[in-house]
Structure 1
Amino acid sequence: MTESNEAAPALKPARELADSPRRFPGESAEYRRARNDLLAEEIELRRHIERVAAQRRALPPGGIVPEDYRFQGESGPVTLSEMFGKHDTLVTYNWMFGPRRERSCPMCTSLLSAYDGEMPDMLQRVAFAVIGRSPIEKLVAFAKERGWRHLQLYSSADNTFNRDYAGEDPDGDDVPAFNVFTRSGGTVRHFWAEEMGPWTADPGQDPRGAPDVMPLWTVLDMTPGGRGSDWYPKLEYNAAPR
């Protein structure tokens, strides 16, 4: 994609755009003032997200992948370059479901459950691979249990991909990680990785990237109670929520 040399149009001040014409039953003038102040901040946040995305797209070429890692897929061996399929971009997610775990990480499960529903749309634009260190049979069995239909699962049990691109000790705990790779002229390069973790978290905040990749937290951030400080997803619940 070529970038246009034309100057970007001047943006109206967010506060000017935040004079919302909407009114809801019973709202007070105090509420509307505070809501419009918040709307201005939301507009600024949207613009900042756009600036960050543009900066990410403008990254110089990343490092050439040192080897064409060989994984075990549901239908047999697959190399990293083969995961691209017809696309020139591959997104990988390192699933915290290694051989030391009897069950999958609940947070990963929540994320992947949401992505399974989005996958038919996502695969129109990019390839997406879910990579775990457990044997492929174990990964597939859990996916069937959860009713996942669209995720492409791969085992990295016999390679160093997780260690190389997730910072994971092969004898230690699992580490979740997003990575993006590109392929051009037969050359596969690393493009971007999520690099925010415990060392980048603010005081009292769970480590997470920005924007947050979990739809669950994005929705809860819009509610009065927010994310809470002592609740996390679970694999099973005693009763269906009301």
Structure 2
Amino acid sequence: MTAAEPLKPAIELARSNGVRFPNESEEYRQARDALLAEEIELRRHIERVAEQRRALPPGGKVKKHYMFDGPNGQASFEDLFDDKETLVVYSYMFGPERERPCPMCTSLLSSWDGEVPDIRQRVAFAVVARSPLERLLAFKKERGWHNLPLFSDPTGEFSRDYHAWPADGSDDAAFNVFTRRDGTIRHFWGGEMSQATADPGQDPRGAPDLMPLWTILDSTPEGRAPDWYPRLNY
């Protein structure tokens, strides 16, 4: 889809869909076509937002020399890029003060573990937490993760600067993207949707939602439910 291409009205596309399910009523089909039109509009809006994100002006330079502990020893922030020009960093809520990691973060990372080889075809990817590396690797083994690249932020400086370690000392998750162009590393984009931007009756979350769990539950009659969250064990 390009800006020059005229788009057909969403409801027109929905009505030309032609899908029918056994024994559905005409009332169901009319409501489903109306919903499908909204889903088409949502897809278009997601693409517009992604285009706007890609068009952001250059972000702030990364001037500090952040160092991490990784499975192969110490690694600089630039090392995390490997041979890629873009780096995605997820800050995991598993600080040294926690007895166990955040169940929500863990659920998300479990769903990403199998995607890491695919992600790394396009960009570099790293998961950073403030707990010591041995602790992170022990939980990786417990959880059965195979591909997630875990790094410890021993000083917490990176976590502090990029909003994963608030000033009140609590632990928080963060999702940040960085670029390396002509030898210069810059922050490209970071998630900023939090409690301050949440709508009434909803948990703070980004859009599109990064968690496949919620994407699946949002397609069901039960929905995601404000009183249910994933657990580390069942």
Q: TM-score of the superposition, structure 1-length normalised?
A: 0.93
Asked whether 1:155 is paired with 2:152, we answer: yes
In structure 1, the residue matched to 2:9 is 13
Report if aligned partners of 2:130, 2:156 keep a CA contact under 8 Å in 1. no
Asked whether 1:78 is paired with 2:92, we answer: no
Name which of 90, 93, 98 aligns with 1:101. 98
1:171, distance to aligned residue in structure 2 (A): 6.5
SS in 2 for 1:93: strand
Q: Which amino acid aligns with 2:11?
A: R
In the TM superposition, what whole-angstrom CA distance separates every residue of 1:92-140 from its partner, at most 9, and x where no partner exists?
0000000011111000000000000111111101111000000000001
Name which of 44, 51, 56 aligns with 2:53. 56
Structure 2 runs not aligned, ≥5 long: none
Q: Which amino acid aligns with 2:140?
A: A
**What CA distance in whole angstroms lies between the structure 2 residues aligned with 1:96 and 1:170?**
15
**What CA distance in whole angstroms lies between the structure 2 residues aligned with 1:183 and 1:124?**
16
1:166, distance to aligned residue in structure 2 (A): 1.4
CA separation of 1:7 and 1:115: change in aligned 2, threshold 3 A = closer
**What CA distance in whole angstroms lies between the structure 1 residues aligned with 2:11 and 2:191?**
32
1:173, distance to aligned residue in structure 2 (A): 1.3
Report if aligned partners of 1:70, 1:159 keep a CA contact under 8 Å in 2. no
Describe how 1:1-242 pairs up with structure 2 within 5 A: 8-19=4-15, 20-166=17-163, 168-169=165-166, 172-237=169-234
SS in 2 for 1:213: coil
Report if aligned partners of 1:69, 1:159 keep a CA contact under 8 Å in 2. no
Structure 1 runs not aligned, ≥5 long: 1-5, 238-242
Q: Please, what is the CA RMSD of the aligned residues?
A: 1.2
1:169, distance to aligned residue in structure 2 (A): 3.2
Q: TM-score of the superposition, structure 2-length normalised?
A: 0.97
**What CA distance in whole angstroms lies between the structure 2 residues aligned with 1:111 and 1:169?**
21
Report if aligned partners of 1:14, 1:41 keep a CA contact under 8 Å in 2. yes
Number of paired residues? 232
SS in 1 for 2:115: helix
Percent identical = 64
